[in-house]
């Protein structure tokens, strides 16, 4: 497998392929699962994480997004998808003169897709993380989706859930103030801005009476904590902090992280963010003074208890450079 992966990464660069093979076989680092699954195969999709946003609040947009999730999952990619722009329960649908069923039935379709389109054809389960901002009018139903009790038609237990939290919500919680819930179809643009612009638009909609419901902010906060205690989700990321620290501010507002929340990248209906992963084995860099690193017994790995042991940062830098050249 390691030789297949090395050749799949470097192709006709034989020297680099052999170097990567030896480094992996000596356990200096390993590549991520999609790379191990797919390198050197007819479909060499090597990336781990994909960030997408709902393409449009329409049947076409929803199912185009669902198809993209299925295609990514087929090739062993993990997915983070934001659904802030999907209209809430009871919102008017102009095209059919009806009303929306909200995000729960839609997310059940995504749930079934994650179950059906497993990663790499039976290698592991599909993994989708769904991000929602806490001003969305379906937020309480969203928090219940992974719970172990309740009606099955209101649950989506094979998805992972995350909140994309603006600072304004936490301020309202801290000050025990009210929090307004909106439908993005009736109060558009909240997901597309952050910081002061978000606060201005949010308060503008509050004054205009566009809220679907007004609740104490702490009521929602305690429901979030209850869901975390019962199910382990939603995990929480902070919208304003993520955007404030991003070097992609020129592209637009960042709307989510990925499945494992370790990257923050810009997405749009036309742009999918991608990241490649690998893991380096830090215990391999623990050294005994006077002993060549290749001669270290395995019992030294991970231990810095002896005064004669130290961490070899120079060797770490060397191996990191070699790893980066193979990602």
The tokens describing 10, both together, are 């470097």
Calpha distance 73→80 (Å, rounded): 11
Calpha distance 113→126 (Å, rounded): 8
Give the orientation angle of helix 14-25 with respect to helix 313-324, to 10 degrees.
130
Active-site annotation holder among 101, 260, 276, 288 = 260
Calpha distance 242→233 (Å, rounded): 19
247 is catalytic: no
Give the orientation angle of helix 167-174 with respect to helix 217-231, to 10 degrees.
110
258 is catalytic: yes
Separation of first and last alpha carbons in the chain? 17
Calpha distance 22→120 (Å, rounded): 26
270 is catalytic: no
Calpha distance 52→265 (Å, rounded): 10
Neighbours of 12 (CB within 10 A): 7
| C-alpha distance from residue 12 to each of 4, 41, 43, 49, 324 (Å) | 13, 15, 18, 27, 18
Q: Are the CB atoms for 145 and 108 separated by under 8 Å?
A: no
Active-site annotation holder among 177, 200, 262, 318 = 262
Calpha distance 224→48 (Å, rounded): 29
Calpha distance 253→263 (Å, rounded): 15
Q: Which residues does the annotation mark as catalytic?
A: 258, 260, 262
């Amino acid at each position: 497998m390691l030789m297949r992966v090395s050749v799949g990464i470097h192709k006709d660069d034989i020297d680099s392929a052999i170097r990567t093979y030896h480094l992996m076989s000596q356990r200096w680092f390993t590549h991520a699962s999609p790379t191990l699954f797919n390198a050197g195969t007819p479909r060499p999709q090597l990336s781990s994480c994909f960030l997408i946003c709902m393409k449009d609040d329409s049947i076409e947009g929803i199912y185009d997004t669902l198809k993209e999730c299925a295609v990514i999952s087929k090739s062993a990619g993990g997915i983070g998808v934001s659904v802030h722009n999907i209209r809430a329960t009871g919102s008017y649908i102009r095209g059919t003169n009806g009303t929306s069923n909200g995000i729960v039935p839609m997310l059940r379709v995504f749930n079934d897709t994650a179950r059906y389109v497993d990663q790499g054809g039976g290698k592991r389960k599909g993994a989708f993380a769904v991000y929602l901002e806490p001003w969305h009018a379906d937020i309480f139903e969203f928090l219940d989706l992974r719970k172990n009790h309740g009606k099955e038609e209101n649950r989506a237990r094979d998805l992972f859930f995350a909140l994309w939290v603006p600072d304004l919500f936490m301020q309202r919680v801290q000050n025990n103030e009210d929090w307004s819930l909106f439908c993005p179809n009736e109060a558009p643009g909240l997901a597309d801005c952050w910081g002061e612009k978000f606060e201005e638009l949010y308060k503008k909609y509050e004054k205009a009476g566009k809220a679907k419901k007004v609740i104490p902010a702490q009521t929602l906060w305690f429901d979030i904590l209850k869901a975390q205690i019962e199910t382990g989700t939603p995990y929480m990321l902070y919208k304003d902090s993520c955007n404030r620290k991003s070097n992609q501010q020129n592209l637009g507002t960042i709307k989510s992280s990925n499945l494992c929340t370790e990257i923050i990248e810009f997405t749009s209906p036309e742009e999918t963010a991608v990241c490649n992963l690998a893991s380096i084995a830090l215990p391999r860099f623990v050294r005994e003074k006077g002993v060549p690193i290749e001669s270290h017994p395995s019992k030294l790995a991970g231990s810095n208890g002896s005064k004669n042991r130290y961490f070899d940062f120079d060797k770490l830098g060397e191996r990191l450079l070699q790893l980066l050249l193979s990602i």
